[in-house]
Amino acid sequence: MKSIKCSEIAETVKGEIIGDENVSIFNLNRIEFATQGELTFYSDPKFLESLEQSNATCIIVPKDLDRKPESGQTYIKVDDPYSAFIKIIKLVDFISQEAATGIHKSAVVGENTFVDESVSIGPNCVIGNNCRIEEGSIIESNCTLQDNVQIGKNNRIYPNVVCYKDVIIGSNCIIHAGAIIGGDGFGFTENREDGSYTKIPQIGNVIIGDDVEIGCNTTIDRAVVGSTIIGNGVKIDNLCQIGHNCVIEENTGIAAQTGLAGSTNLGKRVRLGGQVGIAGHLKIGDDVTLIAQSGTNKSISQGGVYFGSPARPQMQAFKIEAVLNNLPELARDIAKLKDKK
């Protein structure tokens, strides 16, 4: 990372400097491992020993910390050190990801396509006909946008992403490497005579809202007709599968290896843990949380935390698990009772 002076850090987090404000930081690290030239933070008393032994050049600490920095060390005092450290991470990330504007000479851009002059398109990208890429967006190397794709403002699309035709992406989105947006859904009819399959053409599209993040190697299938819709603020982890015609409403979070079958509808602020599975044509209501490895083949309308397969309210599911864990002893006791007869 580029060097940042402690004075700039303090200004960003609105903190009070104790020590040298002109010293420069070259890296960020955890308090247990931070050394000279690095910035870290201290907020939890269980890390007091790490603070006392730290060789970090600059440490963000609570305002009420009754301790002076070591020689050659600078403290920045704030109300919430963790939140302040996150602000610095965001600042460093922004600086490190600045990309040169313009279209790389190896990129191919189709006819009747608009690319704002502030856009960056990396090596070996292929942009189809009738596309539109708005200001501030970055398309990294080896990406493919098929015909009629629309990309809004200030998006970052990492290498090897493919957007099939007619995909629409809003603004301020992040799409990580290897994601496939708009591929065909699993749509076939089975022929009764011989059990073979006939493909159903998938002629819809995918619409992604604003402030969405999509993880590496996640796939979002295009609709059979109409649109697969990903609402504003949705966060999808790596290796997820979103089936055709799914609708995911705003601020929903989906962890890795989760799969939604076609036409699933997730409400607002739904939370799906890793490896959750949801059968097709179901409705999951607002504020539902499914704990990791849960599965459901029925709709869930009431907000709350659910667990298991089939998914049940958390406390009910845990009680069932407790009984199941005692089954060997129960079976042994029943066998003893039978022997006494």
| Order of strands across the sheet that contains 126-127 | 108-109, 126-127, 144-145, 162-163, 180-183, 219-221, 241-242, 259-260, 277-278, 295-296
Residue 310: is the preceding peptide bond cis (ω within 30°)?
yes
* 325 Cβ contact partners less than 8 Å away, ≥ 6 residues apart: none
Active site residue 281: no
- DSSP 3-state of 83: helix
Q: Label residues 163-201 b or e (16+ Cβ within 10 Å = b).
A: bbbbbbbbbbbbbbbbbbbbeebebeeeeeeeeeeeeee
Q: Residue 304: which of 288, 283, 318 has the closest Cα?
A: 288
Q: What are phi and psi of 278, to 5 degrees?
A: -130, 125
Q: Point out which residues pair with 139 in neighbouring strands.
A: 121, 157
Q: Which of 104, 176, 244, 281 is catalytic?
A: 244
Which of the residues are catalytic?
A: 244
